[in-house]
Structure 1
Amino acid sequence: MTSWRDRLSALAHEWLPAEVASAWIGLSRPGIRLAPDGEGPRVGRIGGLPVMPEDMAWPEWPGRGPLDFLAAVDCAALPREFLSIPLPEAGTLLFFSFDGFRRESDDEPLLEDVEGSRVLFVPAGVPVVERAAPEGPVPYPALDVFAEVVATAPEREHILLEQTKIANGESLAEAVETVLLPDGCGGTDVFGELAAQARGRGREHQVGGFAAPVQGAVENEIAAEVLGDYRDPRRAEEAARWVLLAQIDTDDKTDMIWGDAGMLYWVIRTDDLEAGRFDRARCTLQCG
């Protein structure tokens, strides 16, 4: 059976100096892609209506209205041997955000708008019903998704590219400054291109692993927001505390469009994740 890491390793060793390739591959983690044509178990749904307790409040963005329901992930169905983050063994994660484009509104939640997106957790065994959307949100077309294990690795300004050194003292980011791929991609973008080739082209709905950033590392964005200044010397330390919970891609099949064909990312501090404090997850949007 082909390892989730094999394709990424082969590409890295083809295009990167051997020492750099080995160091980068050593940082890789499996991610669980939520694919409509995945070969693994059904692990949830993108779009549709949420199944949740009758007495659980539908999340709202004060002053703007109810949030749009985006996705449900069944924690018990996820292939745990490939899960890089400590999710509960059972229960359902529900992802909500305010879709200004779909509402024909200028409002779009940003990192500082913590109530513009929300993650709810429904424990296993709690009575649930399919909930109709309140006035405002129009449900997206529903798409069942299945687990597909993919290789992910740090890319595009991730702090690990600066912190990981090779024998001559250079960081991984410094060591690839002169690397150029046939398509013209160079510098630290090389890591992003190789990671994308390893995953294969397709929608990037994903749980766990490293984010596939459209721009820079999402962990840097959240750290700068939390600290209030991108130049704060504690930014690297703060960025290292956050991990990817999930990402939801622009998807024609579900009528989801994030900015200019971008991506939504939910990140969470490791200690909050271990304690099940999903309400502390933060969401950010990146697009081209």
Structure 2
Amino acid sequence: MQWTGQKRNDLETKLRDNQFAHAIPYLLETTKFGIRCAKTGPADYSKPGRSRVGGDPDLPPDWEWPMTSDGEAMTFLAQLNLQELAQHDESSLLPKEGMLSFFVGVDEPAYHIEHRVLVMTAEQLAAAVHRPSPEETTMEETFEGFALSARATLEPPNYAYIDYDRIETDDVGYDEFEAVYQDIRDEGEQDILQLFGYPTSQHDDAEYEAALMLLTGKNYDYKMDSALNQIAKKLGGDKDKAKQEIGDIVMLLEIDTDNDVGFCWWDAGVLHYFIRKEDLLAGRFDRTYCSLYSS
């Protein structure tokens, strides 16, 4: 990521003020630009094309509702107006206009979940209209719709991804860093969606799981070395290229459990959508991976 002077100064100041000056080089290297979306109130369906979570989507009149391979109507989860997000996309990863809409099938099991990510052009978005959800969808529940407001955030490594040796000293440990972490991220009580950054998880292997399925079509066996070797084999034995592919996996969206909307991912977990950076930049939203994390 390319640091601006102001953001770099803000990060360094927060770290120095909290006795983490020793971690500045590490966090400048590993912190990512993110986008967080917060609920701002009930969805207004009289204004199609606005960013929304829960409720019903806006779709062009001639588009069919996404269906699972078993012929069930998928559940709509969120739509993101890309023009609204563009000013907050400091990594310049997303298209500048149009809309992304996220649907999901049955969230059992928690890996390789059937889903769809629909992308609309600006012209298609202009023609989109409110589309009530089918009476029965895969999640078997009705979710309340809320309008969203996006903002740019900094996303340091979370507890699953952080290098504790680079953070802890004799005087401060991760418990002290956690408060700084929350401050750096600028978390809000109404936050429900996160684009980019690090996925919420207990382990730092979500990108291995996603890359393995996207590149080889195989399910993850929870062995990182095995996944790396399988990806490398698919890439002609090039292990360095395999590592690069894993490192370039992008968390396209994280959807939190939320009582207002009605989302509850297993035991109050999160739902993830991942994509290869190459596919994201090419607008290939038909090549995504969906999984669920819950403690």
**Inter-CA distance 14–54: structure 2 relative to 1 (3 Å threshold):** same
Q: CA deviation at 1:3?
A: 5.5
1:125-173 deviation digits (Å, cap 9, x = unpaired): 1222222222412441110011222221233444xx5xxxxxxxxxx44
1:27 corresponds to 2:30: yes
Aligned partners of 1:204 and 1:248 also within 8 Å: no
Q: CA deviation at 1:210?
A: 0.3
Q: CA deviation at 1:201?
A: 4.4
- Aligned residue for 1:205? 192
Distance across 2 between alignment mates of 1:179 and 1:201: 31
**Inter-CA distance 147–139: structure 2 relative to 1 (3 Å threshold):** same
- Aligned residue for 1:166? none
**Inter-CA distance 117–4: structure 2 relative to 1 (3 Å threshold):** farther
| Gap runs ≥5 in structure 2 | 42-48, 229-238
User: Out of 225, 228, 232, which is 1:231 matched to?
Assistant: 225
Aligned partners of 1:272 and 1:280 also within 8 Å: yes
Q: Residues 136-151 of structure 1: matches in 2 within 5 Å?
A: 136-137=136-137, 138-151=141-154
- Aligned residue for 2:275? 268
Aligned partners of 2:39 and 2:191 also within 8 Å: no
Q: Residues 81-96 of structure 1: matches in 2 within 5 Å?
A: 82-96=89-103
Distance across 1 between alignment mates of 2:101 and 2:109: 17
Aligned partners of 1:205 and 1:249 also within 8 Å: yes
Q: CA deviation at 1:175?
A: 2.6
SS in 2 for 1:238: helix
Q: CA RMSD in A?
A: 3.2
Distance across 1 between alignment mates of 2:108 and 2:209: 17
1:156-196 deviation digits (Å, cap 9, x = unpaired): 444xx5xxxxxxxxxx44333657867x738xxx5x66433
Aligned partners of 1:214 and 1:262 also within 8 Å: no
Q: Residues 60-139 of structure 1: matches in 2 within 5 Å?
A: 60-63=67-70, 65-80=72-87, 82-98=89-105, 108=108, 110-113=110-113, 116-126=114-124, 127-137=127-137, 138-139=141-142
Q: CA deviation at 1:266?
A: 1.2
Q: CA deviation at 1:84?
A: 2.3
Amino acid in the other structure paired with 1:195? Y
- Aligned residue for 2:166? 175
Amino acid in the other structure paired with 2:211? A
- Aligned residue for 1:47? 54
Aligned partners of 1:34 and 1:43 also within 8 Å: no
Distance across 1 between alignment mates of 2:11 and 2:190: 18
Q: CA deviation at 1:262?
A: 1.1
Distance across 1 between alignment mates of 2:258 and 2:244: 34
- Aligned residue for 1:195? 181
**Inter-CA distance 230–17: structure 2 relative to 1 (3 Å threshold):** same
- Aligned residue for 1:286? 293
Tell me the matched-pair count: 258
Aligned partners of 1:43 and 1:146 also within 8 Å: no
Q: CA deviation at 1:273?
A: 0.5
Distance across 1 between alignment mates of 2:276 and 2:70: 27
TM-score, normalization by structure 1? 0.75
Distance across 2 between alignment mates of 1:19 and 1:123: 46
Distance across 1 between alignment mates of 2:281 and 2:211: 19
Amino acid in the other structure paired with 1:131? R
Q: CA deviation at 1:11?
A: 4.1
Amino acid in the other structure paired with 2:81? D
Q: CA deviation at 1:12?
A: 3.1
Distance across 1 between alignment mates of 2:23 and 2:212: 28
**Inter-CA distance 109–34: structure 2 relative to 1 (3 Å threshold):** farther
SS in 2 for 1:49: coil
- Aligned residue for 2:203? 216
Aligned partners of 1:8 and 1:195 also within 8 Å: no
1:88-128 deviation digits (Å, cap 9, x = unpaired): 11101001113x5xxxxxx5253334xx2221111111222
Distance across 1 between alignment mates of 2:89 and 2:71: 38
